[in-house]
Chain A
Amino acid sequence: MSSEDPVRFVDERLLEASTLKKVLRYVFPDHWSFMLGELALYSFVFLVLSGTYLAFFYTPDSALTTWQGPYEPLNGQRMTAAYASVLDIVFKTPGGNLVRQAHHWAANLFLFSIVVHACRAFFTGAFRKPREPIWMIGVLLVGLAMPEGYLGYSMIDDLLSGMGVAIGYAVGLSLPLIGGPLTVLFFGGPLPGADVLFSRFFILHVFVIPVLIAVLIGLHLALIVRAHHTQFPGPGRKEGNTVGSPLWPAYALRSMGLFAATCAILLLGGGLIQINPVWEWGPYHPYLSFNGAQPDWYVGWLIGALRIMPGFDVQVPGGDHTLVPNPFWGGALFPMLVLGGLLAYPWLEQRLRRDGAMHHLLDRPRDSPRRTALGAAALANLVTVELGGLTDRVFLALSIDYVAQIWILRVAFFVVPVIAYLITVRICRELKRREIHPLRGAPGTVVQRTPEGGFRVIDAAPFEENGSSEARVPEAKRRTLR
């Protein structure tokens, strides 16, 4: 190695200096909520790294074997080679349980940060032109991340994961017309499937879906770089610019700090907070199940949807031929409607508002009361459905009758979103009218004492009804806001 100047090295061989300059000066507007997408990205990196380590030890094979190991309750039990290899990771591989648990926590953080990031993008109107494709890619990422997580814990083949596989099998069977043959083909036969089933889960979980996710993340980021980041309105911030930290050096360091912090949280979680104790329930057999089985929260809403759906199969009159089995409604149609609605939303809003303009400055949630209320209604609906997945836990914890809970949720499914919509519209309009900040508190009224000893309100001038930015708040008020 020569002691060549590194910039010259890059300029001559890798990146032209003019391009390098642009990369280093790329501006990131500062707002805490813009970190959520990065958090998702870094969780994904962590998932790839920890997953690679686990893949060195995991055996995707459903052939039966007898496990020998230091955990007495399972020592000598018959189980699939897949489950035996997971127990080996937990009990025999140095650091294996740490990595397995950190991987599981990372999957939860990945989904969580994607969902909160999507909420941020929705409530601030970041999906508007020209970012509709970025939003749609994000929705596809949600649609991929959920089955990716599901496959991950389905490959373990303990009793909990086997019950999840059985439900997945039933949802597959329920797809109209093709569901039955296609699902049986994929499983290699009826439940519990052929010995190759876990090889098929494995290739999807460690290759097909992660590659798709990585490609979509790459596209998502490339399109963001092309459009530049959005920003909240503020002094000097216009539709035509971005104001914030350049990439080099402060932003890069802080972002790397976020990556390190993500790793730290996941490793501390993986080491100190137990998640999915795979040794607890023992191996899966189709004739076994236990009460209180809970999937991860990002699949819980599907369980909830399956549970609160009234019981009926669509049958040919006479009842000797089923057309649409029940799991289709909650397990397949409902999530497809949710994701489809999310994909279509930017285009729908454009059409409804007749708004074909470019938007680089973000709305605050209150600036668009109906959009915010619609989002709140959708979230309320999903939370209601998610509660359906918790009904058995609620029954155990609070002794609320199970049947009563289901009936309450069936009604709430329709009623709660309407209430959420109305309340949110009201809150947004009120916030807009008064220009107070719900977290920073009311600014109060500025009162002046007159030389005569009287008091005078000097700040009661009505604010612009459509004031969409803090920049439009009168100076005196803004001082108190900060």
Chain B
Amino acid sequence: MRFLTRLLFLIGALRAGRPAASQSDGERDVDPREREIVSTPRAEWALVVLLIGAGLLAGAFAVLIAAWPNTQILGGTLGGAFLLLAAALILAGKRVVPQEVAVEERTIPAGGRARDEARELVTDGVEGVTRRKLIVAAAGVTGCGLLGAAALPITAWGPSAAQRIDSSPWRAGSVVVDERGEHITADDIELGSWLTGFPEGASVEDIGSPVVIVRVDPTTLDLPAGREGWAPEGLLAYSKICTHAGCAVSMYRYPLFKPRAPGPYAPGPALVCPCHFSTFDVQRGAPVVFGPAGRPLPQLPLRIGAGRRLEAAGPMSGSVGPAWWGVKRPLT
């Protein structure tokens, strides 16, 4: 309010310098001012009824919130109270108080003498100062220093900058378990089905942990060179965190029949992310066949251990999770 007042003061002070109105053709010189007394007993009684109704409904809300806090009833009563209040206020504004069309002169642009005087005041402020540019530059140094001092404590927010964004708990020999910590065996996954696996003993909340395990016909495998033996019996494991935006890749598209015509995207089994529909071809090492992801899902080499339980045969083939400046150095 004080701010408003000051501005109005300012406007008042500037009024003197206001130039004459700029344009005027016949129609615009009409004087639109009018004032009309509109109140009638009927309108005033309606206003009274609406106000009392709003009060009663608001009171009902107060009782109900203690006695019977049902979302619908509470919303209905309090919303109804405001609805009646809105009707009352609009009725009062349109049918009870005097209706007036007024004209107010604009004060912009101010200009004129006041502006020249203000400009003089500004330039007077540096009168006699000769090394202006040098001083401004020195103040710039202060600014940069303070900015750095203010910004750098944010390094206390997180882990040391040396920590890998993409650290994954998978190591050669990690045993694959489900989210309850029970071992997953090679026989748990049928052709066309999929499971989520985690390394035994690691946190399931770590984005380096979850992998999708699928089974495909081993004869259809076409993995990149160097991944021989990563998919025993056609069992494949890929990081479940999408390389595009970090959502869980939780849809598995497994065609039950051959497409009649070649489509725009690979017809084979594919993992699909439900956020932005990046689609990864599981038979070829999960390259992106459609959607916005920029790199394949990292693959986890599998082996079948004692009791046919699944184990990792090595670390992930690449950085887990969404990309950043510098990602995709192969893990060693």
A188 within 8 A of partner (CB): yes
Nearest residue, chain A, Cβ from B76 = A271
**For B7, B23, B157, B293, which residue has the most chain A Cβ atoms within 10 angstroms?**
B157
B11 within 8 A of partner (CB): yes
- CB-CB < 8 A to A236: which residues of B? 28-33, 103
Give the segment of A1-9, A133-141, A241-249, A432-440 that binds chain B. Answer: A241-249
Q: How far is the CA of A170 from the CA of B243 in the complex (A)?
A: 9
- Interchain CB contact under 8 A, B65 and A94: yes
- Interchain CB contact under 8 A, A311 and B288: yes
Is chain B's interface secondary structure helix, strand, loop, or mixed overall?
A: loop
A264 within 8 A of partner (CB): yes
- CB-CB < 8 A to A268: which residues of B? 75-76, 79-80, 83
- Restricting to A309-344, which residues have a CB under 8 Å from any CB of B? 309-313, 315, 319-327, 330-331
Number of A-B contacts (CB under 8 A): 375
Determine how close the nearest CB of chain A comes to the CB of B28; give it in whole angstroms.
5
Q: How far is the CA of A195 from the CA of B291 in the complex (A)?
A: 33
- Interchain CB contact under 8 A, A330 and B325: no
- Restricting to A243-279, which residues have a CB under 8 Å from any CB of B? 243-246, 249-254, 256-261, 263-272
- Interchain CB contact under 8 A, B329 and A320: yes
- Interchain CB contact under 8 A, B248 and A286: yes
Determine how close the nearest CB of chain B comes to the CB of A171; give it in whole angstroms.
7
Nearest residue, chain A, Cβ from B105 = A241
- CB-CB < 8 A to A307: which residues of B? 276-277, 291-292
Proximity string of chain A (168-195) to chain B, C-beta cutoff 8 Å, 1 when within and 0 when not: 0111011111111101111111111010
Q: How far is the CA of A268 from the CA of B324 in the complex (A)?
A: 45
- CB-CB < 8 A to B4: which residues of A? 23, 222, 225
Q: How far is the CA of A319 from the CA of B273 in the complex (A)?
A: 23
- Interchain CB contact under 8 A, B106 and A181: no
- Interchain CB contact under 8 A, B86 and A258: yes
Q: How far is the CA of A299 from the CA of B245 in the complex (A)?
A: 15
- Interchain CB contact under 8 A, B276 and A303: yes
Q: Taking A184-B165, A185-B155, A241-B104 as contacts, is the C-beta distance between A287 and B179 under 8 angstroms?
A: yes
- Interchain CB contact under 8 A, B103 and A291: no
- Residues in A lying within 8 Å of B, measured CB to CB: 14-15, 18-19, 22-23, 25-27, 94-95, 97-98, 101-102, 130, 163, 166-167, 169-171, 173-181, 183-192, 194, 200, 218, 222, 225-228, 233-246, 249-254, 256-261, 263-272, 285-293, 303, 306-307, 309-313, 315, 319-327, 330-331, 358, 360, 391-392, 402-403, 406-407, 471-472
Further pairs besides A19-B9, A264-B80: 11, Cβ < 8 Å: A226-B10, A234-B32, A238-B24, A241-B105, A246-B100, A257-B86, A260-B82, A271-B76, A287-B204, A303-B276, A313-B295
